[in-house]
Chains A and B, each alone.
Chain A
């Protein structure tokens, strides 16, 4: 499994953009980059994923470095509900069959 490095914690103010970085320098060429978040007392929630190109959905944007060794999850306007632990997960699919390898993630605190 590819190793990931994320900041232990980050803080933001409500309605400001948040950039959550992730280093995955050992990622395989065929691994997708998945992001999940876990709110208190809930199961993880899928946020976004991508392979090489930047990706957008209603929740966030994902910027992937050209060499794919790092990526950044962008929350365009943070809300209090975005306070959670964010996990960056390289995922091979194929024979990985369901095995998401969660690291320690980044604890995001959003201030009103």
Chain B
């Protein structure tokens, strides 16, 4: 079956711009989580959505936001980009009861802010 699909794979943006990243979960998975990975901070949790509702949020500024659609696809948006937002953004999906099977991650979107 198809895995978690993230688009685009690579993105270059200018400081001050905004960006939208997309994540299509595995069919049937209703939970989608987002993570930021940088060399300095490692993998950090951004937020999690289930059935179009945000259930959990990490410690990131309000410039980082997300949403989930009725088909479980999710988008995250970063407004007013800063150089420090350059990172690999990963999404992960699960059935919602993670203890049954764990999370499946996508390959990520590499965002470079210049």
Contacts and interface: CB of A to CB of B under 8 A. Distances in A.
Contacts of A102: 35, 42-44
A99 B90 contact: no
B106 A49 contact: no
Interface of A: 32, 34, 36, 41-46, 49, 51, 87, 91, 93, 95-104
B45 A43 contact: no
Contacts of B105: 43-45
Q: How large is the interface on B (under 10, 10 to 19, 20 to 34, 35 or more residues)?
A: 20 to 34
A101 B59 CA distance: 12
Given A98-B33, A102-B42, A46 B104 contact: yes
Contact of A46 (B42, B45, B58, B101): B101
B14 to A, nearest CB: 25
B90 A43 contact: yes
Contacts of B94: 98
Interface string B45-56: 101101000011
